A and B are shown apart, each in its own frame.
Chain A
Amino acid sequence: MSTGRLPLEDYQRYGRQMILDGFGLEGQLKLQKASVAVVGAGGLGCPALQYLAAAGVGKLGIIDHDVVELSNLQRQILHTQERIGIPKAVSAAEAIKQINSRVEVVPITSALLPTNALDLLEPYDIILDCTDNAPTRYLLSDTAVQLGKPLVSGAAQKYDGQLCIYNYGENGPCYRCLFPKPTAPELAGSCAEVGILGVVTGIIGNLQALETIKIITGLHEGKASLLIFSALSTPPFRSIKLRSKRPTCPACGVEGQKVGRISETDYVAFCGGDRPDWVSKGMVVEGRTEYRITAKEMRHVLQSSPTTRLIDVRPPVEYGICHLPNSINVPLNELVADPTSFVKIDEELETYFVCRLGNDSQLAVDALRSAGGKGIIKDVVGGLRAWSKDVDPDFPVY
């Protein structure tokens, strides 16, 4: 039995969880003494922080260098319209203060880097991976191994999510044990590119909070497993039994640490380089001047040339969100698979391709040309984003 005591008011605040078998005053005191670092105050971090704060975790570190944007609010539920433009770590700290003013919150607005990760995370008992990119996931895993701390890791995209505690228990694997090779950046996809349903990050973030509370209070059985969530599958949850740590793992294997010093490791290079900046790439004209036209030129062509066809190569669901009135939809994957059956070769016609940002439309031009397309075949620089900016400000940007 614990001999500790809580401030009087806390018996009322936390009574509902303290009366649980296996939790008790002792569990609450453990939470109060615990410190948790949440890396990423986005779709996963917000719900995780919300519940950890409400449950009475003593100290919460929030590491995030982004600022709140309108497109975050669909899932990042601690942020508000009023706080758009301010750092996410600060916004989340403000929200937590309103939930539970006695939690010590440490907002950190610098990016987590190989050079500062050990120092930033060393003061905490448990680390939560709520990040959105592969390099930081490997960095966090290596850091957790080196510091000997459990890493409660969540991930989500589209309708799916994953939850796993790395570097935990007797023989629990680290992230590198499970995924020794990173996915290529162009396949990894961000929430902006592949989409995410907000409540899916909410489910995974809540589970991260739950596992963290279980670890702190001693309710966790100490064995790691990988939980796969798929909102549209039946059953939606699947628990995968994990193997032990890989003896040959370069980070946590029995043969010792081979990954080298964290501060000297280039995690971005290890993961295949920077994530492509599709907005900038879609604006590049150099080397393709004869195959590209600007949005303003496109408007002029549509107004003046009757023998024009405008083909929108986005997926049908995106075409359904908004499209230019005279465009027809041929999704890129169908076009590339069989260009001339979808876009008949007709030299009398001027063919223009458009997409969201101006990247896929370049692939469409190349596909039709290499299938024998002749005459004017071009695409719109910067895609519909540029159309909205330079031609029609009423055209939606998503």
Chain B
Amino acid sequence: MPEIKVLYFAAASTTAGLQEEHIPLPSEEPFPLSSLATLLSSRHPSRGLDKVLATSQWSVDAEMVDEPEKVFLAGGEEVAVICPVSGG
């Protein structure tokens, strides 16, 4: 199966319990970015990752995504969870 690399920062990293992971896409078919939150939450249940993802943005290959529903992952991409950080 094609794989993607997911990067977690700040609250996303806290709730996922890791900083990055390689995950296989469910099929050979292009995978909609808009379904990635559900996939990641199911891999890391019960720690609040779903709530963090709800207010986060995606970057794919170091570019911020404007409309996730128009982006499909074929494998090989580096997807980062960009969550708002308010500390300082």
A156 and B9 form a contact (CB under 8 A)? no
Q: Does B84 make an interface contact (CB < 8 A)?
A: yes
**Contacts A155-B86, A157-B87, A228-B80 given; does A184 touch B19 at CB 8 Å:** no
Interface centre among A130, A179, A333 (most CB of B within 10 A): A179
Interface flags for B24-63 (1: CB within 8 Å of A; 0: not) read 0000000000000000000000111001101101010011
B3 interface contact, C-beta 8 A: no
Pairwise interchain contact A243-B13, C-beta atoms closer than 8 A: no
- Known contacts A333-B47, A337-B46, A183 near B64 by CB under 8 Å: no
Point out the residues of chain A lying under 8 angstroms from B52, CB to CB: 183, 187
Residue B83 interfacial (CB < 8 Å)? yes
Q: Is the CB of A160 within 8 A of B84?
A: no
A157's partner among B7, B10, B46 (CB-CB below 8 A) is: B10
Which stretch from A37-45, A281-289, A299-307 is at the chain B interface?
A: A37-45
Main secondary structure of the interface of A (DSSP, over half): mixed
B20 CB contacts on chain A under 8 angstroms: 233
Is residue A150 within 8 Å, beta carbon to beta carbon, of the partner chain?
no
Is B62 in contact with A132, judged by CB distance below 8 angstroms?
Answer: no
In the complex, how many angstroms separate the beta carbon of A146 from the nearest chain B beta carbon? 21
| Chain B residue contacts of A194, Cβ below 8 A | 14, 87
Are A187 and B86 interface neighbours, CB within 8 A?
A: no
Shortest CB-to-CB span from A156 to chain B, Å, is: 6
Q: Is A181 an interface residue (CB 8 A)?
A: yes
Chain B, Cβ-Cβ closest to A195: B87
Alpha-carbon distance A155/B86, docked complex (angstroms) = 6
A-B pair number, CB within 8 angstroms: 113
**Known contacts being A181-B54, A182-B55, A183-B55, is A132 close to B88, with CB within 8 Å?**
yes
Contact of A230 among B19, B84, B86 (CB under 8 A): B19
A337: chain B residues within 8 A (beta carbon): 46
In the assembled complex, how far is the CB of residue B66 from the closest CB belonging to chain A, in whole angstroms? 5
Given contacts A158-B14, A160-B13, A183-B11, is CB(A238)–CB(B62) below 8 Å?
Answer: yes
Cross-chain contact B88 with A131 (CB below 8 angstroms): yes
B55 contacts which of A179, A204, A243 (Cβ < 8 Å)?
A: A179
Docked complex Cα distance between A42 and B10 (Å): 19
Query: Which residues of chain A in 14-73 are interfacial with respect to chain B, using CB atoms and an 8 Å cutoff?
Result: 40, 42-45
B residues whose Cβ falls under 8 Å from a Cβ of A: 7, 9-11, 13-15, 19-20, 46-48, 51-52, 54-55, 57, 59, 62-66, 80, 82-88
Seed contacts A131-B86, A155-B86; 9 additional CB < 8 Å A-B pairs: A132-B86, A155-B88, A178-B64, A182-B84, A187-B51, A189-B87, A191-B87, A191-B88, A238-B62
